[in-house]
Amino acid sequence: MITDIINNAAIYSKLRPGIRKALIYVVQTDLAKLPPGQYTLDDSGLTAIISEYQTHEYMHDRWEAHRKFIDVQFLIKGAENMGYTFNPPKSTTIPYNEGKDIVFYNADGFQFPFTENCFAVFYPGELHQPGICNGNPLPVKKIVIKVPFNECE
């Protein structure tokens, strides 16, 4: 996992080409004006998903991980806590969905504040839980850019 503010995006320019492209897209695009939906960014499989939702209570059984894609998440509007864990999951709660590249687990971990202009990068296999409320549920707008893990292999 990597987390930082978008002003420091250039520090990560030596990472995979898809991560670099994702961060450039975030910096150069007026994301506040884009409506929720899915956007194809290039022919390498780089895809952006913009969503608006209410933050939720922490849930032991809703830790997610991916196998084929890296998540580059950027909070456009609002604030949430993000869960992350180094611990192995206790059990699978929802089996792997290949079409959506997601599996859910029961796990324990920690939370960190994820505020406007913050980004996070999650590699395949890294358990994370986005959208956790810090107190009362709040509306947020977020972009998640899916970067194919094999894009430079």
pLDDT in tens, 77-86: 999 999 999 9
Domain extent listing, the chain: 2-148
Q: What is the pLDDT of residue 5?
A: 96
At 99, the amino acid letter reads G
Whether 68 shows a pLDDT value over 70: the answer reads yes
Q: For residue range 4-27, list pLDDT tens digits in order.
A: 999 999 999 888 999 999 999 999
Distances (CA, A) of 137 to 58, 114, 140: 11, 14, 9
Tokens of 28: 């150069």
Return the pLDDT at 45.
87
Q: Determine whether domain 2-148 maps to CATH 3.40.50.1970.
A: no
